[in-house]
Chains A and B, each alone.
Chain A
Amino acid sequence: MDLEVIFYILVMAVVTYIIRVLPLTIFRKEIKNPFIRSFLFYVPFVTLSVMIFPAVLDATASVWSALAGFVTAILLAYAGGSLVTVSMTACLAVFIVEMFL
Chain B
Amino acid sequence: MKDWKQGMKDGLPIMSGYFAVSFTFGIFAKQWGFNPFEAVFMSGTNLTSAGQFAGVTLIAASAAVIELIIAQIVINSRYLLMSFALSQRIDPDTPMLHRLLMAYGVTDEIFGAAVLQKRLTPAYIYGLMTVAVPGWVFGTLLGIVSGNILPDRAVSALSIALYAMLTAVIIPPAKGNSVLMPVIIISMFTSFMISHFFTFVTPGIKIILLSLVISALAAYFFPVKEGEAEQGGS
B157-179 CB mask vs A (1 if < 8 Å, else 0) is 11111011111111111110000
Main secondary structure of the interface of A (DSSP, over half): helix
B interface size (C-beta, 8 A):
103
Interface size class of A (residues with CB under 8 A): 35 or more
Residues in B with CB closer than 8 Å to A50 are 187-188, 190-191, 206-207, 210-211
Residues in B with CB closer than 8 Å to A41 are 78, 81, 219, 224, 228-232
Pick the contact of B172 from A40, A77, A89 — CB < 8 Å?
Answer: A77
Residues in A with CB closer than 8 Å to B231 are 41
Main secondary structure of the interface of B (DSSP, over half): helix
Residues in B with CB closer than 8 Å to A81 are 168
A88 vs B21: C-alpha distance when bound (angstroms): 11
Residues of chain A at the chain B interface (Cβ within 8 Å):
1-2, 5-6, 8-13, 15-17, 19-25, 28, 30-31, 34-56, 59-61, 65-66, 69-70, 72-74, 76-78, 80-84, 86-95, 98
Please determine whether A37 and B224 come into contact, CB atoms closer than 8 angstroms: yes
A25 vs B166: C-alpha distance when bound (angstroms): 31
Residues in B with CB closer than 8 Å to A40 are 77-78, 80-81, 229, 232
- B2 CB to closest chain A CB (Å) equals 23
